[in-house]
Amino acid sequence: MSAPILAVERASFAVNDGECFALLGVNGAGKSTTFKSLTNVVEPTSGEIGILGRNITRDFNLVRHRIGYCPQHNCNFKSLNVYEHLKFYAWIKNLPSSMHEKLIDGVIQKLRLQPYKYKHAE
C-alpha cells in the first residue's frame, strides 16, 4: 500500500469582503483541491477551513452564500440564455426567489446585456 499523497499543507490566506482572489501555481500544487475544500466538494483530512469564523465542514450552509467560485473551465451552458444563466446561479446561491427578477434585471442592466438577455451562450 502506497503512502497517501499530500495535496495541500499549511495553506492560509484571507480575503476581504468584496475582494476577488486568484490562486496560481504549477500543475499539481493543490489549487483544485484547495477550491474543492473551500466549496465543500471534498472534506479536508486534517486541519480546518474557516469562513467568517465558521468551520466550513460543520457550517457550510451558513457560509456558502459568501463564496463565489469561478473554475478555469467555461461554466456557461449552451442550452441556456443570459437570463436563464443568471436565474440558475441565483438558485444555486439560494437567493430568495422573490428577489430573482429584480436582481437579474439589475445585473443585466448594470452589465449592459439587455440586447443579449435571451441570447444563448456560444
pLDDT in tens, the chain (122 residues): 777 777 788 888 888 888 888 888 888 888 888 888 888 888 888 888 888 889 988 998 888 888 877 777 777 788 899 999 999 989 888 889 999 999 999 999 999 999 999 998 77
Question: What DSSP designation does 120 have?
Answer: B
pLDDT at 13: 85
Domain co-membership, 110 together with 65: no
**The cell 468584496 sits on which residue?**
18
3 state DSSP class of 7:
coil
Domain co-membership, 68 together with 89: no
| 121, part of any domain | no
pLDDT at 30: 86
pLDDT at 68: 78
| 37, part of any domain | yes
| 7, part of any domain | yes
* Cβ atoms 38, 63 nearer than 8 A: no
Count of domains in the chain? 2
Domain that holds residue 94: 82-116
Nearest to 90 by CA among 99, 81, 82: 99
